[in-house]
């Protein structure tokens, strides 16, 4: 019988990074080495510990990385607690890739890009940012606006400081919600910071974060003159199959696992408000 997408493959956790107090990044490879499968930025995978549960996570590493995949996972439920308790060398099950991707080889090509992320919302965008950095000639200006509750809650802070901020070809603006000792950067919520920075409306925006942050960021962008067709986001709903068959992650007639998770706001606007 042919392979069935519901039957998972094995992944080996080769590195675990404590990114924030409640976010860890896991590096996963196939038991025989190399990646378990290829993906495009924005796509997701179903990770599981058999007996504990299975859930969908965005792949945070860039497909340009040929050695491994990474997942940045926030501790918020039964499965994620288990994942956080893992040690290096632990095997998990993995299946995918699922969903569409940010159109890095389509509409985003040649555009000035603005990434706006809040908290763990950086995870899916990090894949795109690193993809863009590795294919830098294909894109225009690149700006990243990223905020979190505190300095400690900035996911992948080390990579941001050491690689992104050192990269003369991209601009990074960081903010945290409240003042903190040892932080001399910007303080304030992401949506307000975006309005302060007033980025050029020529940019194409990729936004991800908590629903409330996305909502206010979109409103702010509109005030600045952006249109919905310029703004992409990625969605998250409860999923079981990953291929549009188990019937639970739909918004109207679109399945987030299959037709998403990446949507442009004008497309999302045509769908019922149920997410």
Task: Enumerate binding residues for another protein (CB under 8 A).
Answer: 1-10, 50-54, 76-78, 80, 87, 89-93, 236-238, 240-241, 243, 245-250, 252-253, 270-272, 274-275
CB of 263 to another protein, least distance (A): 15
Give the residue with the Cβ less far from another protein, 179 or 272: 272
Which of 73/114 has CB closer to another protein?
Answer: 73
Angle (deg, nearest 10), helices 190-197 and 211-224: 20
32 dihedral zone (left: phi>0; alpha: psi -120 to 50; beta): alpha
Q: Closer to another protein by CB, 94 or 108: give it.
A: 94
Among 183, 121, 193, residue whose Cα is nearest residue 129: 121
Residue appearing with tokens 């590096």: 27
Nearer to another protein, 46 or 117 (CB): 46
- Least distance (Å) between residue 258 CB and another protein: 10
Q: Nearest approach, Cβ of 92 to another protein (angstroms)?
A: 7
Token digits of residue 197: 């920075």
CB of 182 to another protein, least distance (A): 30
CB of residue 1 vs another protein: minimum separation in angstroms? 5
Residues 125, 118: contact at Cβ < 8 Å? no
Considering the complex, what minimum distance in angstroms separates the CB of residue 261 from another protein? 14
Q: Which is nearer to another protein, 93 or 135 (CB)?
A: 93
Q: Which is nearer to another protein, 9 or 171 (CB)?
A: 9
Which residue, 184 or 274, has its beta carbon nearer to another protein? Answer: 274
Instruction: In angstroms, give the least distance from the CB of 241 to another protein.
Output: 7
């Amino acid at each position: 019988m042919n392979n069935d997408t519901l039957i998972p493959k094995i992944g080996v956790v080769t590195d675990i990074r404590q990114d924030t107090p409640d976010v860890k990044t896991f590096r996963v490879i196939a038991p025989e080495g190399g990646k378990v499968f290829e993906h495009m930025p924005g796509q997701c995978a179903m990770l599981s510990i058999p007996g504990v549960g299975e859930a969908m996570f965005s792949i945070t590493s860039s497909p340009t990385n040929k050695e491994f995949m990474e997942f940045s996972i926030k501790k918020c439920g039964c499965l994620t607690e288990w994942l956080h308790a893992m040690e290096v060398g632990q095997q998990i099950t993995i299946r995918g890739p699922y969903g569409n991707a940010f159109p890095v080889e389509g509409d985003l090509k040649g555009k000035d890009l603005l990434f706006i992320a809040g908290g763990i919302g950086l995870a899916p965008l990090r894949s795109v940012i690193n993809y863009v950095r590795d294919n830098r000639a294909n894109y225009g200006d690149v700006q990243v606006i990223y905020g979190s509750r505190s300095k400690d809650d900035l996911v992948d802070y080390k990579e941001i400081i050491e690689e992104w901020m050192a990269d003369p070809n991209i601009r990074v603006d960081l903010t945290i919600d409240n003042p903190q000792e040892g932080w001399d950067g910007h303080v304030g919520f992401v949506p307000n910071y975006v309005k302060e920075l007033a980025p050029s409306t020529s940019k194409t925006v990729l936004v991800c974060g908590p629903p409330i942050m996305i909502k206010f960021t979109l409103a702010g962008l509109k005030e600045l003159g952006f249109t919905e067709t310029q703004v992409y986001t990625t969605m998250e709903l409860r999923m079981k199959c990953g291929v549009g068959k188990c019937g639970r992650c739909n918004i109207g007639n679109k399945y987030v696992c299959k037709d998403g998770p990446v949507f442009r706001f004008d497309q999302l606007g045509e769908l019922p408000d149920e997410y």
